[in-house]
Amino acid sequence: MTQARMFVRIAAALAALGCLAAAPADSPINVPEPEGLYAGPPHGYTPSTLKGATVIDADALAGLMAEPDKPVLIDVAAPDRKPSNFPAGRLWLPVHPSIPGAVWMPEAGAEPLAPEREALFPDRVAELTGGDRAKPVVVFCHVECWGSWNAAKRLVRKGYTGVRWFPEGVEGWQDKHETVNLRVDPAWKAASEPQAGR
Average of per-residue pLDDT values in the chain: 84
Cα distances from 76 to residues 148, 161, 174, 196, in angstroms, run 6, 19, 17, 27
Considering only CA atoms, which of 142, 183, 121 is closest in space to residue 42? Answer: 142
Considering only CA atoms, which of 51, 31, 50, 49 is closest in space to residue 41? Answer: 31
pLDDT digits (tens, 9 = 90+) for 179-195: 999 999 999 998 876 54
Alpha-carbon distance of 116 to 19, in angstroms, equals 42
Going by pLDDT thresholds of 50, 70 and 90, the confidence category of residue 4 is very low
Task: Assess contact for 178 and 66: CB atoms under 8 A.
Answer: no
Alpha-carbon distance of 3 to 11, in angstroms, equals 12
The pTM score is 0.80
